[in-house]
Amino acid sequence: MFSKISSIVIFLSFLGITLGCQVGDVQSSSYSTTDGLVISETAYVVNFNVNCKDAAKPDSLVLYADIGNNKILPVAKSSDGSRFQVSWTADLAKSYSASYEIKIHDEEGLSNLKRAQRKESKEDVTPLFKINFSHPGTYRGPWLQTELIATVISILVWWVAYSHKSKLD
């Protein structure tokens, strides 16, 4: 009897370890640099919290982010294991105002994704969850520089003054 109970307990604990966190609710926040006057690259930062459906804690999760264009990044985890962050940079010339979809995978999903990329397969690998965020774009300065506007106004003032002077003579 004791061996049956102990084997059931071991089986259930093993099952709990292998199943881990079944991802439930995900809350996210994001940041991206918007002042392009003094930078050469745009930084993107996405923070998110994961709540498990079952009694497991999300600290057992090892996550990877597919940010598109075959770029896969590891997801950083806080020391308590409840908060996650993924960040990257992109060239300023290539960072447009857009909505981005980040696909979050676990280790098994990552291996499936890499296998599909190696085979150049068009099959869609299902992520654990997706995070959408919007980058408002990067300010690159005014279309017309202030110096140009001042020069044009100065030339117009000079031309008006010169033409009125010639009419007085």
- 143-165 confidence digits (pLDDT tens): 778 888 899 999 999 999 988 88
Q: Has residue 4 been placed in a domain?
A: no
Give the structural domain span for 81: 21-143
Across 51-60, 78-87, 130-139, 148-157, least confident range: 51-60
Q: Has residue 84 been placed in a domain?
A: yes
Dump the DSSP string for 92-130.
GGG--SEEEEEEEE-HHHHHHHHHHHHTT--PPPPPSEE
Q: Has residue 47 been placed in a domain?
A: yes
Beta carbons within 10 angstroms of residue 127's beta carbon: 22
Number of domain units in the chain: 1
CB of 25 closer than 8 Å to CB of 51: yes
In degrees and rounded to multiples of 5, residue 76 shows phi and psi of -80, 145
CATH number for the domain harbouring residue 114? 2.60.40.10
Q: Has residue 166 been placed in a domain?
A: no
Q: Has residue 120 been placed in a domain?
A: yes
Q: Has residue 61 been placed in a domain?
A: yes
| Number of residues assigned to the chain | 169
Q: Has residue 9 been placed in a domain?
A: no
User: What's the pLDDT tens digit per position in 81-113?
Assistant: 779 999 999 888 887 888 889 999 999 989 988
Tell me the pLDDT band of 9, cut-offs 50, 70 and 90.
very low
pTM over 0.95: no
Say how many CA atoms lie within 13 Å of 71 toward its Cβ.
11
